Amino acid sequence: MAMAPSSLLHVQHASTVASSKAFTQHLHAFHTLSLPTRLQQRSLTGRPKIRAADVGTDEVKPTVPASAPKKADDSGALNQLLGIKGATAETNKWKIRLQLTKPVTWPPLIWGVVCGAAASGNFEWTVEDVAKSIVCMIMSGPCLTGYTQTINDWYDREIDAINEPYRPIPSGAISETEVIVQIWVLLLAGLGIAYGLDLWAGHTFPSILATALGGSFLSYIYSAPPLKLKQNGWIGNFALGSSYICLPWWAGQLLFGTLPPDVMVLTVLYSIAGLGIAIVNDFKSIEGDRKMGLQSLPVAFGVDTAKWICAGCIDMTQLSVAAYLFATGKLYYAIGLLGLICPQIFFQFQYFLKDPLKNDVKYQASAQPFLVLGIFVTALATSH
């Protein structure tokens, strides 16, 4: 039986509306995909590019990605604030900004300032000297380390989309503009404080500012193309280790005195131990580094070889420094350093060498306090 023209028109209109709704639903589904999912749909044979639309804009409200850990307990919230693995998802922008600076990485830099002040031999427990030290710690920790960690996360957003897709940048919890503003604010604040410390210390040459500028440039080329030092496991990790040991030590010592050439050489050599610590952090990123073509040592040599290289760099450096202290007549300092090396070796065999992928955090938490105490013993030795 033939349909009336009006009925036929009604059917065609309904079909058009249904098709339009289906298209709209598919389009909406595509745009609501998380960044990691959309990255995985692209070929990894080329370097995927992330646009502002991928990481969120100022007009888009941050959302909690489905792949992010849920807010379940206080430990996840604390991990989020410290900027370490296992963090819960967060939408509060100030908490996200703090997470990007990774406060858990500040203590070694703050401790480095303490070591430099001790090595100068001129630090006194006065209000002014304590105030100087605290300001120098703020420069080294929250400002310049925060800058380093934020810019590293920005240039690692593609790798993090594979390894840790719930992190703030790949998840879209913070926009491109907000990240870039944070990078500049932290950098300029750190350099401004450095120049202020030079004025406070009465320097004719801004040596602390020069140190901060050198460290900031090193941080940039470590993370950013075309150099991207972290692509090479040896160079990148040594650059990272020297930043964590040399630069805050130099800043602290320059704040209260001069920096002799022999101390500069000793701290650069001590950075080989920092190289070993940096390798520890590479084990958690093996999958992403391999996919993105980064030649970290665990990727280049394999897990078993890399773990021994890591432990060897840490132990041999400190044993060499202990031998140097003994040879220069500082017997008690050499014995003290040896006493601090022993528990580090114990925890290497107890945790790290057994399973560096599973026990990396546990190893660092148990062994690194003895490493930083050893650096302080060395600083005291150089001051006498």
145, 153, 157, 164: which is closest to 104 by C-alpha?
145
Q: Which CATH architecture has domain 260-384?
A: Up-down Bundle (1.20)
Whether 105-259 and 260-384 share one fold: the answer is no
Predicted confidence at residue 167, as pLDDT, reads: 86
Report how many helices (DSSP H) and strands (DSSP E) the chain contains, helices first.
19, 0
Predicted confidence at residue 48, as pLDDT, reads: 43
Measure the CA–CA gap between 95 and 313, rounded to whole angstroms.
Answer: 35
Predicted confidence at residue 84, as pLDDT, reads: 62
**What residue segments make up the domains of the chain, in order of their start?**
105-259, 260-384
In CATH, 105-259 is 1.10.10.10: no
Residues lower than pLDDT 50 in the chain:
1-24, 26-68, 72
The answer to whether the Cα torsion of 36, 41, 42, 44 is positive or negative is: positive
Predicted confidence at residue 203, as pLDDT, reads: 97
Predicted confidence at residue 20, as pLDDT, reads: 46
